[in-house]
Structure 1
Amino acid sequence: MPKTVIIPEGTGKPLAPFVPATKADNVVYVSGTLAFDENNNVVYVGDAAAQTRHILEIIQKVIETAGGKMSDVTFNHVFVKDWADYAAINQVYAEYFPGDKPARYCVQTGLVKPEALVEIASIAHI
């Protein structure tokens, strides 16, 4: 099955050997996305809502680059550093998925940088 690498304009270099997304058979797989600037520094340190918004803006840009829209997202994998941020994350998350919500799971875990409070990976069918 052929695949296409999706790298939106202005995307920073990943910290590890991966790409922002791949598309195969009209399915877009978005890598785990954190609130990083173009130099892989965490932005909005201490603010889970702002980090979530930043992450979802990046995911939206990736999905749109692949030819889709956020309503095409069918599944999200959400990782949180602290359950205390869960409500703030959900409030922002709901703004990006106002209609039918995608399936998802959410787990508490350590993230790649200590300042990171949330990470989201997505699957979209476009």
Structure 2
Amino acid sequence: MAVDIITPPQAPPPLAPYSSATRANGLIFVSGTLAMAPDGAILGIGDAAEQTRVVLELIKAAVETGGGRLETVLFNHIFLKDLADYAAMNEVYRTFFPLHRPARYTIQTPLVKQEFLVEIATVAAVADPV
């Protein structure tokens, strides 16, 4: 099985030994994505809505670089530092998925750095040719 490494130009540097995303067998797997700039700066500190927006923009870029679209997202794994941010995350999330509603789950868990409030990992399908 061939596995392609996907690295969108706007991807921040990985915080550990992993790829931003991979593609195999018609699927795109996007690693847990955090609100970071390409230079590694943390964005939206203290603002779960802004961090969600940044994370979903980065996921969109990874999925599109891999040949998919947000409409081909199949599943989102959502991690929140604090469930009190659930409503703010959902408000932004629904703007990225207004009609297409991928399967998902949301859990509360500590994240890799104190400043991160939201992390999302995604599975998408490669888009069919139009």
Bin the TM-score by the shorter chain.
over 0.9
Deviation at 1:39, TM superposition (A): 2.9
Task: State the TM-score, normalizing by the size of structure 2.
Answer: 0.93
Deviation at 1:56, TM superposition (A): 0.2
Residue in structure 2 matched with residue 92 of structure 1 by the alignment: 92
How many percent identity over aligned positions? Answer: 50
How many Å separate the matches in 1 of 2:84 and 2:39? Answer: 28
Residue in structure 1 matched with residue 18 of structure 2 by the alignment: 18
Gaps of 5+ in 2: none
SS of residue in 1 equivalent to 2:77? strand
How many Å separate the matches in 2 of 1:63 and 1:12? Answer: 15
Please say which of residues 8-17 and 57-66 is displaced more in the overlay: 8-17
SS of residue in 1 equivalent to 2:35? coil
Residue in structure 1 matched with residue 2 of structure 2 by the alignment: 2
- The amino acid of 2:124's aligned partner reads A
SS of residue in 2 equivalent to 1:100? coil
Residue in structure 1 matched with residue 117 of structure 2 by the alignment: 117
Task: State the TM-score, normalizing by the size of structure 1.
Answer: 0.96
How many Å separate the matches in 2 of 1:124 and 1:12? Answer: 20
Q: CA RMSD for the aligned pairs? A: 0.9
Residue in structure 1 matched with residue 45 of structure 2 by the alignment: 45
Please say which of residues 38-47 and 83-92 is displaced more in the overlay: 38-47
SS of residue in 1 equivalent to 2:41? coil
Gaps of 5+ in 1: none
Deviation at 1:91, TM superposition (A): 0.5
Deviation at 1:100, TM superposition (A): 2.6
How many Å separate the matches in 2 of 1:59 and 1:104? Answer: 15
How many Å separate the matches in 1 of 2:117 and 2:12? Answer: 19
